[in-house]
Chain A
């Protein structure tokens, strides 16, 4: 379940925001200003797009600006995007709760729900944006609100403003320029390899190519931390299961002491008896593991496609940490096989007890009623 939540955290934070890999001008990540932008080069980008495992790319021009409506003012992150590409990757359109999505070369903007609430602005109102453009140019403009989008992650929901790339380039006086290219790739685990290949394409130029582990180090860290606590839980669970199994074996051995005693006195070799007991345990465990998987699979599948959302109160608290308030479940088969191995190893190790007790058993004593 935790592993499912991680996939989801990565998806939310990375796929729907930073992308798995980003290309910027050298130095942009440290100093995210519009002056650290670069010229959109279609040739290089089509080369990147052809790399194995790269789904697509999203050019963006991002910078901060002051947003204002009537008497309310708040800092906003203005994202100039290609509406078609942006939606293809980050599914912004599906997060629309009011109004319409952006058209290409659109005059208007999308505003995130948290920011809209703060400014008390709604669809068809006009937002004022003030900021600093490329090389110190003044940036100011009036933008009609076309739609309101709602994000799960609070940092996004409270400050994002989307407009078309052209409009943003006009607003920031940054013709042809972009600040970042975000890439979506098939498998997050491939990020490092693809990053290396992109560095080859952009070799010699002043670019920086970063994968998601560099882009969101806090997320990686918190996943690792959470993973450790998850592992501790898992070991406690193993301990509980282990004791349960040991108890069962203990009972089984005690209960069948008489039977075993008779078998040995009439001529059954201990090794034969031990083999049978081991076989029984293996079969019992196999049955148990299979039953466990078959029973849990429907539930896990259900929760995989219908994740558990927290109640409102808890959700608020959790979202304050910048995490989407949802428990997601992974269906990765590796998780099942690993658990099955773990249980089997435990069963075999614990089977040592009945095996040992058969070895030590004195038939006359164990046959005594």
Chain B
């Protein structure tokens, strides 16, 4: 298996001038293609920050991130955005749906940017919404959905375009057990069939049970890294 993402000595420091917060501290991590990895740790340990850095959404204060062997800090902004579009699916902790679009349009949005055909977009989006048990809300705006419903739409959005790897920030935080099981099945299927790489942060024991690698963070550093 080849290394797909590599973080080398990455640090992220907030409030550099006043009281510095080391959200991520001198952290190194390699993710192999096809991995199914959970990042766990107490609240505030730096999970969100790390995922954002791995996906190129945020810049580390120190260290570097390599994707497919390329240092993303030397990539042009537009190249990086294009790379994200074609390779990465994000599930944000705060869902981050586009407020002016319906659930269906939100799920179609990435495929629209990828210039997929209209029918393909629609069918794939509906398929994912159905898998997440939220197809009946396809035409609702995010503001009309509950937290859990928004989370399911956000998951559908991230998975619909069949990205090479998925960065999911607590994707089951607001899901009931049936939705969680659905999601875990879907993720496992994509992982097996498409060799999609999953990196997700979680507090959820059921999710951790399914993970084949568990990276534990504390104060921005890795305290344990278990593969099974």
Residue pair A267, B52 in contact (C-beta under 8 Å) = no
Contact bitstring B153-188, A, C-beta under 8 A = 1, else 0? 000010000000000000000000000000000000
Residue pair A270, B90 in contact (C-beta under 8 Å) = no
Residue pair B110, A267 in contact (C-beta under 8 Å) = yes
Chain B hits for A369, CB < 8 A: 94
Interface size class of B (residues with CB under 8 A): 20 to 34
Q: Which of B96-104, B121-129, B208-216 contacts A (4 or more CB under 8 A)?
A: B96-104
Check: B203 CB closer than 8 A to any chain A CB.
no
Check: A262 CB closer than 8 A to any chain B CB.
yes
Residue pair B113, A367 in contact (C-beta under 8 Å) = no
Indicate whether A267 sits within 8 Å of B57 (C-beta atoms), given known contacts A258-B99, A369-B94. Answer: no
CA distance A237 to B185 in the complex (A): 64
Residue pair B78, A266 in contact (C-beta under 8 Å) = no
A258, A270, A363: the one contacting B57 at CB < 8 Å is A363
Indicate whether A259 sits within 8 Å of B85 (C-beta atoms), given known contacts A267-B113, A364-B58, A369-B94. Answer: no
Check: A265 CB closer than 8 A to any chain B CB.
yes
Minimum CB–CB distance for A277 against chain B, Å: 13
CA distance A271 to B81 in the complex (A): 11
Indicate whether A263 sits within 8 Å of B77 (C-beta atoms), given known contacts A268-B113, A364-B52, A364-B58. Answer: no
Chain A hits for B94, CB < 8 A: 367, 369
Chain B hits for A152, CB < 8 A: none
A262, A266, A364: the one contacting B85 at CB < 8 Å is A266
Residue pair A267, B81 in contact (C-beta under 8 Å) = yes
Residue pair B98, A263 in contact (C-beta under 8 Å) = yes
Residue pair B98, A265 in contact (C-beta under 8 Å) = no
Check: B68 CB closer than 8 A to any chain A CB.
no
Chain A hits for B84, CB < 8 A: 265-267
Minimum CB–CB distance for A284 against chain B, Å: 16
CA distance A362 to B57 in the complex (A): 8
Minimum CB–CB distance for B74 against chain A, Å: 18
Sample of 9 further A-B pairs with CB below 8 A, known A267-B114, A269-B81, A364-B57 = A259-B100, A261-B96, A262-B96, A265-B84, A266-B113, A269-B82, A270-B77, A364-B58, A369-B94
Sample (22) of A-B pairs whose CB atoms are under 8 Å apart = A259-B98, A259-B99, A259-B100, A262-B96, A263-B98, A263-B109, A265-B57, A265-B84, A265-B92, A266-B90, A266-B109, A266-B113, A266-B157, A267-B81, A267-B110, A268-B113, A270-B77, A272-B113, A364-B58, A367-B94, A367-B96, A369-B94
The 3 A-B pairs of least Cβ separation, nearest first, read: A267-B85, A364-B58, A262-B96
Residue ranges of A at the interface with B (Cβ–Cβ < 8 Å): 258-259, 261-272, 362-364, 367, 369
